[in-house]
C-alpha cells in the first residue's frame, strides 16, 4: 500500500472531511484487513467524526442528541465495527468512552457495542475506581455497565437490545469492579428486571440493596416496584415506608406516584387523589412542571383536588409503613438487647442480646440521631433468611430486666497496665480513662465470654462517676 493513503487520510481529517477520509482509507483496508496501522488510522477518523458531534451534545443542557446527531454518531460506531478491532485494545480506552460521558444511553449502536463486547472490553485498570480529592469516582467498568442499564430502562420498548447481555455486564461489574460502593449496580439489575416483568428475580436484587440502605426512600421504592403487579398491599406498604424514610420531599415523588396508581387501581380514589395532591404540592413548591405521566393521572375522571380535606393520608401511610419490614425478609423476628460498644469506625455499634449472642449493626438502622449511647436498650427487628440473621431496624426502649445485664455501684481499682476492676467485674482500658484509683462509680455490666480465660465473666460496658463523688 502506498504511503499516499495515510497522507490523504490525514489531510482530509484535518479539513474536517471525515466521511471522505473514511472512504479513502476503507477501500484500501478491505483489501488489506490485517493492516493494523491502517485500522488505527481509520479508527481515529471515526473518533474525530464522533467528537465533532459530541462537543455540541455535551455542551447542551441534558446532553440529549437530536435525530441527526444520533444518526451520525451511530453511523460512525458502525464504521468502528467494520474495523474488527481486537479487544481489549488501545483504541477503545477512556478517551473514546469519555466522548459519551453522561449521554451514552442515547445511542443505540454505542450500547449495542458495549453489550456485544461485554467483559472482553476491559483491562485491569478499567476495574479500578478513580481517586480524587472529593472521593472515589466510579471505575470505567461500573460507569459503562450503568450506561447500558440506563439505555435499557429508557429505550428497550423500541430498541433492539439484549437484556441478558446487559445483566451479564452488570453482574460482571458487581463481581470484578474494585469500587467500594457497587450498590447502584444491584439497583440497576432490579430496575431492569422489573421493566422486563421478571418480578421475582427483581425482588431478590432489590432486597440485597435494601439491606444495605434501609433508611433510603429509593431503596424501598425499588422493592415496592417488584410487588406492584402481584401484591398491591405489599407495594403500598413499601412505598409508604419510602415516604417515611425520605430525607427531602422531592424524594417522595416516585412513592406518591406509585401510591396514586395503585389506589386508583383498587378503586380507592380518595386516597389516590390525596397521594397525587401531595405530589403536586412538591412540584409547585419547587416551581417544577409536572411530568406527562403525572399530568395523565390528574386528567383522570376520578381525580378530586379536595381529597386531602377528607383523607388523613399521613395515618394511611403510617399504617401501611408499619407492615413494610415483613416484605424485606423471609421471616421477621423481634428481640431485645443493650448497646455494649461502638465500632471504631464510628459507623456502627454492637448489641448484646445474651451470653454468646451479639449483633453488629450499621448506624443507619437506628431510629435516632447518631449512634445510640452505650447502655441503651433497643428493640431489634431481625430479618431471618435461612440461618442468617440481620438487623433491619433498632428502636430505643426503656430499661429492661435481664439476668445477664446489671446496673451496680462499687470502688474502681486501677491496674498499672491500664485496665481496672470493680469487685470482680473487668473494666477495659478505654472505659477507665479519666478515672482515679479507689473512686466510687456506677456502672453497667454484662456476662460476656472471656477469650483469655475461655469461660464467661462479668465485663463493664459503661462507667460513670458516682453521684456521691460529684
User: What is the predicted pLDDT for the residue at 318?
Assistant: 96
Write down how long the chain is: 470
Q: State how far the Cα of 14 lies from the Cα of 220, in Å rounded to an integer.
A: 53
Let me know: does 142 contact 179? Beta carbons within 8 Å: yes
Q: State how far the Cα of 205 lies from the Cα of 216, in Å rounded to an integer.
A: 16
Give me the DSSP letters along 21-70: HHHHHHHHHTT-TT-HHHHHHHHHHHHHHHHHHHHHHHTSTT----HHHH
| Three-state secondary structure of 65-81 | CCHHHHHHHHHHHHHHH
Let me know: does 151 contact 145? Beta carbons within 8 Å: no
User: What is the predicted pLDDT for the residue at 468?
Assistant: 54
Q: State how far the Cα of 155 lies from the Cα of 103, in Å rounded to an integer.
A: 13
How confident is the chain (470 residues) per 10-residue block, as mean pLDDT? 82 95 94 93 97 96 95 97 95 95 96 96 96 88 97 94 97 96 95 96 94 91 95 97 94 97 96 97 96 95 95 96 90 93 92 93 86 95 82 92 94 93 93 92 93 88 76
User: What is the predicted pLDDT for the residue at 370?
Assistant: 87
Domains 329-396 and 405-465 share a fold: yes
Tell me the C-alpha to C-alpha distance, in Å, between residue 57 and each of 63, 65, 92. Answer: 5, 6, 20
Closest CA to 203 of 240, 229, 171: 229
Vertex 358, ends 354 and 360: CA angle to 5°?
155
User: What is the predicted pLDDT for the residue at 467?
Assistant: 64
Could you name the CATH architecture of 329-396?
Beta Barrel (2.40)
Torsion of CA 441, 447, 448, 450, to 10 degrees: 80
User: What is the predicted pLDDT for the residue at 296?
Assistant: 95
Per-domain residue ranges of the chain: 213-328, 329-396, 405-465
- The CATH H-level superfamily of 405-465 is Nucleic acid-binding proteins (2.40.50.140)
Q: State how far the Cα of 376 lies from the Cα of 353, in Å rounded to an integer.
A: 12
Amino acid at each position: 500500500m502506498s504511503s499516499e493513503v495515510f497522507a490523504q487520510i490525514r489531510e482530509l481529517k484535518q479539513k474536517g472531511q471525515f466521511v471522505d477520509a473514511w472512504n479513502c482509507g476503507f477501500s484500501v483496508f478491505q483489501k488489506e484487513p490485517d493492516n493494523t496501522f491502517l485500522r488505527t488510522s481509520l479508527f481515529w477518523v471515526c473518533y474525530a467524526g464522533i467528537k465533532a458531534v459530541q462537543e455540541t451534545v455535551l455542551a447542551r443542557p441534558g446532553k440529549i442528541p437530536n435525530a441527526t446527531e444520533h444518526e451520525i454518531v451511530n453511523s460512525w460506531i458502525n464504521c468502528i465495527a467494520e474495523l474488527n478491532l481486537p479487544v481489549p485494545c488501545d483504541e477503545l480506552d477512556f478517551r473514546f468512552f469519555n466522548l459519551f460521558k453522561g449521554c451514552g444511553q442515547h445511542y443505540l449502536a454505542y450500547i449495542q457495542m458495549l453489550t456485544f463486547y461485554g467483559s472482553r472490553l476491559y483491562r485491569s485498570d478499567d476495574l479500578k475506581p478513580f481517586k480524587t480529592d472529593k472521593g472515589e469516582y466510579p471505575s470505567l467498568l461500573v460507569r459503562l455497565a450503568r450506561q447500558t442499564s440506563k439505555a435499557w430502562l429508557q429505550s428497550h420498548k423500541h430498541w433492539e437490545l439484549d437484556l441478558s447481555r446487559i445483566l451479564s455486564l452488570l453482574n460482571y461489574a458487581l463481581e470484578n469492579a474494585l469500587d467500594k460502593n457497587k450498590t447502584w449496580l444491584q439497583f440497576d439489575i432490579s430496575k431492569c428486571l422489573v421493566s422486563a416483568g421478571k418480578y421475582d428475580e427483581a425482588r431478590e436484587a432489590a432486597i440485597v440493596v435494601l439491606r444495605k440502605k434501609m433508611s433510603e426512600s429509593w431503596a424501598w421504592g425499588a422493592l415496592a416496584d417488584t410487588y406492584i403487579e402481584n401484591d398491591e398491599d405489599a407495594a403500598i406498604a413499601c412505598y409508604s415506608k419510602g415516604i417515611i424514610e425520605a430525607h427531602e420531599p422531592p424524594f417522595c415523588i416516585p412513592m406518591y406516584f406509585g401510591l396514586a396508581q395503585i389506589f386508583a387501581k383498587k378503586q380507592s380514589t380518595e386516597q389516590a387523589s390525596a397521594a397525587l395532591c401531595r405530589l403536586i404540592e412538591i412540584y409547585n413548591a419547587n416551581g417544577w412542571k409536572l411530568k406527562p405521566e403525572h399530568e395523565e393521572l390528574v386528567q383522570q375522571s376520578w381525580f378530586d383536588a379536595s381529597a386531602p380535606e377528607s383523607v388523613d393520608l399521613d395515618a394511611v401511610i403510617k399504617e401501611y409503613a408499619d407492615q413494610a419490614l415483613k416484605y424485606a425478609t423471609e421471616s421477621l423476628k423481634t428481640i431485645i438487647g443493650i448497646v455494649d460498644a461502638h465500632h471504631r469506625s464510628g459507623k456502627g455499634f454492637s448489641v448484646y442480646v445474651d451470653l454468646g449472642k451479639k449483633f453488629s449493626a450499621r448506624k443507619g438502622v437506628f431510629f435516632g440521631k447518631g449512634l445510640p449511647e452505650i447502655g441503651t436498650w433497643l428493640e431489634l427487628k431481625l430479618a431471618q433468611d435461612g440461618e442468617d440473621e440481620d438487623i433491619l431496624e433498632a428502636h430505643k426502649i426503656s430499661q429492661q430486666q435481664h439476668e445477664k445485664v446489671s446496673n451496680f455501684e462499687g470502688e474502681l481499682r486501677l491496674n498499672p497496665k491500664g485496665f481496672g476492676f470493680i469487685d470482680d467485674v473487668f473494666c477495659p482500658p478505654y472505659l477507665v480513662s479519666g478515672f482515679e484509683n479507689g473512686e466510687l462509680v456506677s456502672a453497667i455490666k454484662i456476662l460476656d465470654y472471656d477469650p483469655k480465660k475461655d469461660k464467661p465473666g462479668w465485663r463493664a460496658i459503661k462507667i460513670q462517676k458516682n453521684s456521691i463523688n460529684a
